[in-house]
Amino acid sequence: MLTLESNNSAIETIKIIELIKNRDEIGLSTLYDAYSGALLGIIIRIVGDKGIAEDILQKTMLKVWTKIDSYDSNKSTLYTWVSTIARHSAIDQVRLVGFDNLRKTDSLNVNVYDVNTTQLSSDGIDVERLMSKLDTKYKDVLDAVYLQGYSQSEAAKKLDIPLGTVKTRVKGAISILRQELVTEKKLFFGILLFILILIYSQIWL
Amino acid sequence: MALSIEEIRDSGLLELYVLGEASTDEQSIVRAALVNHKELVKDVEEIEYSLYTYAKIHAVAPSASVKEKLLQQISNSKKPPAGGQGPASSSAAKPKGDRRSFLAPFIISLLAGLGVLGYFLNQSSNQRHTIEDLTQDSVACDSIQQIQREKDAIFAAISSPGSKVFPVNATENFTDTDLYIHSNAQTRRNYIQLLGLPALAENQSYQLWSLRDGEDPMPLDVFQGDEEPIFEVEYVDNTNAYAITIEVLGGVESPTMERLIGVIPVS
């Protein structure tokens, strides 16, 4: 079965793209299963309403279906391309309808955020440990710019910090995530190797 | 001048590029760098994977009906349009005379109907364009009002009690530099006012520093000088002076003293 869950495997991504280009619904269905949760998490924080967010998610997937030929894998991964469509659609909706006040999703986060933070993700990532490495000052900026669709200058205003600080913290937040994910990956493969050695030694001894 | 790998990495441009926040010029710089330095492709992939993971951690499960509706919609879009072969073949079996007598009033009604429909569609289209124009005008007005509100807020801040103005002491290589810091210890806010700055190369930025007794210079804001003539910068308690230097794009952790433009004593 095709899956995009694990680390955006390049081969699986290519298959998905080919399927969608060939108008095969399995391609879009697989893409939806892999990305819909992450995308809805972003869209809902921008528009602040689940019904509207789900409409935008559906429209995003339809755009992927119809515009797949314009996707250039040399410029970005499939996820980045799809998430950019989703974020821009959500931001356009907010600007068009002018319900910027709905973008205050602090109360919304309570229901949607804690669900996953105490679990291991499907990639074997220790979410709780990962999030604990991200100081609040970094998390606030990354949430505003990446999850809530604020431009950097809007984020500076929202968080009441200078624009330069926003830029520095965005870079810092992503650097911490990168560093921790590399560590997670090494740990994961280390444990895997240990188990394999254990099994191997059991068979031969 | 093309940027080196380290300059690109330090500048934060890769992160902006993946976030979709890079300007057109910045996108061009990154794309050129990705072609020239294949090592940076891995950096971009790691940044993308970090953000993907972060989004997955904050995922929200959509209702089951969303996928059903989506698949139904693409399934419908693939079906051939109704009214193809079927009706034509059934009508072919009818006698010719009957068909003519039936078709005449039908065609007249159809043409009249199409005329009315065309009129209303045209009206609807005009109205839609008007609404779109008005929406764009409204967004533009909001934007202008917002800019004006921001300017008013800055003016109010630098005129508020406790706000003091400190001029730059330019260094000898940059004597034309003209800038001020408006600092307010009560509100703990700083604004920098740029009146004259030396030119930057393509791969350079201005960087502000906080200088405190007995401590290394603390890196603060990085800017290009093409922003507003006055804007907020970071306030740091117990700063004796701020300094401004020219650094590589995106800023550095330690100032380059050869490119020190000036010092602004504030204590």
Query: Is A111 part of any domain?
Result: no
Same domain, A24 and A98: yes
- Work out the pLDDT band at B164, boundaries 50, 70, 90: very high
**pLDDT value of position A33:** 92
With 70 as the cut, is the pLDDT of residue B94 above it? no
With 90 as the cut, is the pLDDT of residue B150 above it? no
Domain count, chain A: 2
Are A123 and B53 a contacting pair at CB < 8 A?
Answer: yes
Residue B73's nearest CA partner among A89, A15, A61, A53 is: A61
Q: Where are the domains of chain B?
A: 5-57, 163-265
Compute how many other C-beta atoms are within 10 angstroms of the C-beta atom of residue A14.
12
Which of chain A's residues have a Cβ under 8 Å away from the Cβ of B230?
Answer: none
Same domain, A195 and A152: yes
Helix (H) or strand (E) holding A29: helix A25-47
B64 touches chain A (CB under 8 A): no
Query: Is A110 part of any domain?
Result: no
**pLDDT value of position A76:** 82
Are A29 and B223 a contacting pair at CB < 8 A?
Answer: no
Helix (H) or strand (E) holding B103: helix B96-159
Q: From the list B12, B47, B70, which residue is nearest A167 (CB)?
A: B12
With 80 as the cut, is the pLDDT of residue B46 above it? yes
A196, two tokens: 């394999």
Summarised one tens digit per residue, pLDDT across range A167-193 is: 889 999 999 999 888 876 666 666 767
Start-to-end CA span in chain B (Å): 39
- Work out the pLDDT band at B108, boundaries 50, 70, 90: confident
Start-to-end CA span in chain A (Å): 36
Same domain, A19 and A55: yes
**pLDDT value of position B60:** 93
Distance from CA of B138 to the nearest CA of A (A): 10
With 70 as the cut, is the pLDDT of residue B188 above it? yes
Q: Which range is least confidently modeled, A40-44, B106-110, B181-185, B216-220?
A: B106-110
**pLDDT value of position A145:** 92
- The average pLDDT across B112-127 equals 72
**pLDDT value of position B100:** 58
Distance from CA of B1 to the nearest CA of A (A): 22
Last residue of a domain, one of A73, A103, A133: A103
Last residue of a domain, one of A71, A103, A135: A103
Same domain, A95 and A123: no
Query: Is A108 part of any domain?
Result: no
Residues 191-250 of chain B whose Cβ lies under 8 A from any Cβ of chain A: 208, 219-223, 227, 231-234, 250
* CATH number of domain containing A182: 1.10.10.10
- The average pLDDT across A11-25 equals 89
Are B66 and A36 a contacting pair at CB < 8 A?
Answer: yes
**pLDDT value of position A9:** 62
Distance from CA of B141 to the nearest CA of A (A): 13
**pLDDT value of position B248:** 87
Same domain, A87 and A130: no
With 90 as the cut, is the pLDDT of residue B35 above it? no
Among all chains, which residue has been given the structure tokens 């930057």? B200
Same domain, A162 and A128: yes
**pLDDT value of position A138:** 92
Angstrom distance (rounded) from CA A39 to CA A37: 5
With 70 as the cut, is the pLDDT of residue B221 above it? yes
**pLDDT value of position B124:** 66
Are B71 and A25 a contacting pair at CB < 8 A?
Answer: yes
With 50 as the cut, is the pLDDT of residue B95 above it? no
* CATH number of domain containing A98: 1.10.1740.10
Q: Which range is least confidently modeled, B93-107, B195-209, B250-264?
A: B93-107
Summarised one tens digit per residue, pLDDT across range A108-160 is: 443 444 334 334 455 567 788 888 888 999 999 999 999 988 888 889 989 99
Residue range(s) defining the domain that contains residue A99: 1-103
CATH number 1.10.10 is the correct assignment for the domain at B163-265: no
Last residue of a domain, one of A42, A72, A103: A103
**pLDDT value of position B117:** 75
Angstrom distance (rounded) from CA A28 to CA A41: 19
Are A161 and B66 a contacting pair at CB < 8 A?
Answer: no
Are B232 and A163 a contacting pair at CB < 8 A?
Answer: yes
Are A165 and B234 a contacting pair at CB < 8 A?
Answer: yes
Q: From the list B70, B220, B250, which residue is nearest A61 (CB)?
A: B70
Which of chain A's residues have a Cβ under 8 Å away from the Cβ of B253?
Answer: none
Same domain, A134 and A70: no
With 50 as the cut, is the pLDDT of residue B84 above it? no
Largest CA distance in chain A: 70
Q: From the list B18, B70, B231, which residue is nearest A32 (CB)?
A: B70
Same domain, A8 and A62: yes
